[in-house]
Structure 1
Amino acid sequence: MSTTRRPPYRRGPPATGYVRRGPMPADAAKPAPAAPLPLRKPVFTTVDQLRPQTHGHTLTARVLSARTVLDKASPQLGRTRVAECLVGDHTGTVLVTARNQQIDLVKPGTTVIFRNAKIDMFKGTMRLAVDKWGRIEVTEDADFQVKEDNNMSLVEYELVDVVEEED
């Protein structure tokens, strides 16, 4: 057996001290400008089409009521506010969890557009929520009557593990 030592195997970028030899190719100096991607048109959904654990919803709804659930001040985070708002369209209603600045947008009687909203589960029921990747926009009044007798947040869901049988 040899007793000479091997240098250790290195991962990642080369150690400091390495320098590029020769001039940089002219075409590598400036990357080619990328063609802008065309924006997709939003696909609007309705309240009755919402399902648990889904995301990316865009919908227009009228705010029926808003109730503050939490209003707390903390030295690290500042002021934390959470409100539950009942919103609906011509197919049904659902509860929305609004946080901090979102509460100022979802006032009763206003019509709002939820963009990139997701469905969170709370005690087995659905709540519509908009996180940092989504947006709530106040828009002009919609011309639909809210169907208040179909509240999707009153339906309870249960998470069930499915075991696949092997033949």
Structure 2
Amino acid sequence: MVDELIFKAVLAGTGATVFMDLAALAQKRLLSLQSLDYAMVGRWLCHAVRGRFIHRPITASRAVAGERLIGWAAHYLTGILFAAAFLAVLGEEWLNNPSLWPALAFGALTLCAPFLILQPGIGAGIAARRTPAPNTARLKSLATHLTFGAGLWVSAHGLSLL
């Protein structure tokens, strides 16, 4: 039972992250909205394992070999871990009868990660307060994380077909 829930968390997290990335790609193509460069996430992570957690800004920090691949891998691993946390709370019952609102609420809750960890670490400040347009950055983050929540819901429906 636990192994099956872990397997489903991997599938749901991967599916939700793909859904989020497809939405970001559509926003880029249709609205010219730039999304996060995951190479910078990889750069931040590589520097973090060496003890440097704060950059001002991350683009001024030394590039790291493989940072793009590391950033994308971390992005998908984070999606899987978020899905596992979500399913640890709501469990098999939610997977059997997925509802949108809990998934969207969880997606909004995941904003804590970029607002309190990643954005301060890459030099954008808490909740993007050091960016040129903080409210715009916050709204983009909210839309992205709500899309992740919607992706959890869509993925759960897809899992029901297995």
In terms of fraction of residues, the more strand-rich structure is 1
* Bigger Cα Rg: 1
In terms of fraction of residues, the more helix-rich structure is 2
* Higher RCO (C-alpha 8 Å, min separation 6): 2
Same fold (TM over 0.5): no
TM bracket (short chain): under 0.3
